[in-house]
Amino acid sequence: MSKSILILPGDGIGPEIVDEAVKVLACLRSDFGLDVDLDEALVGGAAYDVTGHPLPDATLDLAREADAILLGAVGGPKWEPLDYSVRPERGLLGLRAELGLFANLRPAILYPQLAEASTLKPEVVAGLDIMIVRELTGGIYFGQPRGVRTLETGEREGFNTLVYRESEIDRIVRVAMDIAKKRNRRVCSVDKANVLECTELWRQVATQVGKDYPEVELSHMYVDNASMQLVRAPKQFDVLVTTNMFGDILSDCAAMLTGSIGMLPSASLDANGKGMYEPIHGSAPDIAGKGVANPLATILSVAMLLRYSLDEGVLAERLEGAVEAVLNKGMRTPDIHSPGTQGVGTREMGDAVVEALRSA
């Protein structure tokens, strides 16, 4: 039976980069027998403009029915003045929460071809291959109470709540452990247990879960140190597992080690392997519509979608190979450009990947 993929282009560069990923999916369908149906819906600011809500019911219904979701990006300055409840970001957070996508996998891999594009010394980042496992449906992003209140003095006070249940910590640490088993069998759990009770509990639960995985070496690190270690000696890490907000911050940092945030895909999975796939970069409004955005993170997100939601590991590897082939040819969008390489735009990059897929 064919599988269904819901395409959510979103805002900013979202539509442009998703177009290239859809080209790739079309090629996988026509030339490699991938049995998928594609549907498309509105999310984020694009949805707000049409329906008054960043996550319309129609989109959520389609998302619930789909086997997997491919999302571009949401947000932009146009919608910043809006109330929080209808900001584009609420569309993304709503999808994560409503679909129970608690496990966010953010690989940071340095393609040897791009070592020059990193701001760090090549010897620090060469061969880098880290997997950040970020908890995605809990923590301070969703904790109640939250808001801004006015005190008796007339001064306003903003507040958010960091909260984790044992079961939420347990399941995300298990995801990290299972991934580590297929990699270099090391997990570093990142917390702020010296200050925050909630993450002291995180550390205790992680330690407990670790006992079920004697083959995996579990270590713990405070988040401030982890951010320093990520830029000092990133290759010490194999799998990192952490809270929603720490994972948000550390994954941007890890992305930059690889030269460009424009290269990195992500998967957000529920308990049954259903997933939403998106590049980890945002909507980049400054370059939207110019045809220069790097579509590779979105195309690599398709590879993750094939692997995790469609059980098409062989096709996933083929696609990743095609991306490497294009990099080997020296094709570079501006974000990964270095002297001596060939500058290309969004479309040319997408076409080149399709061509590499066909000729592989």
In whole angstroms, what is the distance from residue 349 CA to residue 356 CA? 11
In whole angstroms, what is the distance from residue 241 CA to residue 288 CA? 32
Using the rule CB under 6 A, give the single segment among 8-16, 29-37, 86-94, 311-319 that binds ligand IPM. Answer: 86-94
Which CB sits closer to ligand IPM, 115 or 230? Answer: 230
Query: Is residue 248 within the footprint of ligand IPM (CB under 6 A)?
Result: yes
Which CB sits closer to Mg ion, 248 or 312? Answer: 248
194, 180, 304, 176: which is closest to 242 by C-alpha?
176
In whole angstroms, what is the distance from residue 327 CA to residue 112 CA? 10
Which CB sits closer to Mg ion, 24 or 69? Answer: 69
Nearest distance in Å: CB 77, Mg ion: 17
In whole angstroms, what is the distance from residue 179 CA to residue 46 CA? 35
Positive or negative torsion for Cα 98, 288, 323, 247: negative
Indicate which of Mg ion, ligand IPM, none lies near residue 92 (CB less than 5 to 8 Å, by partner kind). ligand IPM
The answer to whether 181 touches 216, Cβ cutoff 8 Å, is yes
Dihedral in degrees, nearest 10, Cα atoms 108, 112, 116, 117: -30
Nearest distance in Å: CB 342, ligand IPM: 30
Annotated catalytic residue 270: no
Indicate which of ligand IPM, Mg ion, none lies near residue 265 (CB less than 5 to 8 Å, by partner kind). none
Active site residue: 11, 67, 248, 335, which one?
248
- Residue span 45-84 as binding mask against ligand IPM, x where in contact by CB under 6 A, dash where not: ------------------------------x---------
In whole angstroms, what is the distance from residue 72 CA to residue 87 CA? 16
Which CB sits closer to ligand IPM, 253 or 325? Answer: 253
Annotated catalytic residue 224: yes
Query: Is residue 135 within the footprint of ligand IPM (CB under 6 A)?
Result: no
Using the rule CB under 6 A, give the single segment among 12-20, 23-31, 88-96, 195-203 that binds ligand IPM. Answer: 88-96
Using the rule CB under 6 A, give the single segment among 47-55, 87-95, 191-199, 330-338 that binds ligand IPM. Answer: 87-95
- The size of the interface with ligand IPM (CB under 6 A), counted in residues, is 6
Nearest distance in Å: CB 282, ligand IPM: 6
Annotated catalytic residue 211: no
Nearest distance in Å: CB 242, ligand IPM: 13
* Unique residue bearing structure tokens 């291959």: 129
| DSSP element (H, E) containing 267 | strand 265-269
Q: First-to-last CA distance in the chain?
A: 27
250, 275, 136, 115: which is closest to 188 by C-alpha?
250
Contact footprint for Mg ion (CB under 5 A) = 248
Distance of CA 77 to the CA centre of its chain: 21
Annotated catalytic residue 252: yes
Indicate which of Mg ion, ligand IPM, none lies near residue 349 (CB less than 5 to 8 Å, by partner kind). none
Query: Is residue 89 within the footprint of ligand IPM (CB under 6 A)?
Result: yes
Task: Say which DSSP state 212 is in.
Answer: T
The answer to whether 347 touches 291, Cβ cutoff 8 Å, is yes
* Unique residue bearing structure tokens 């809270």: 243
- Extended strands (E) in 49-155: 68-73, 103-109, 129-135, 147-150
Residues 6 or more apart whose CB falls under 8 angstroms from that of 109 comprise 128, 129, 130, 258, 264
- Residue span 92-111 as binding mask against ligand IPM, x where in contact by CB under 6 A, dash where not: xx------------------
Which CB sits closer to ligand IPM, 206 or 254? Answer: 254
Annotated catalytic residue 78: no
The residues that are catalytic are 141, 192, 224, 248, 252
Chain residues in the site for ligand IPM (CB under 6 A): 75, 89, 92-93, 248, 282
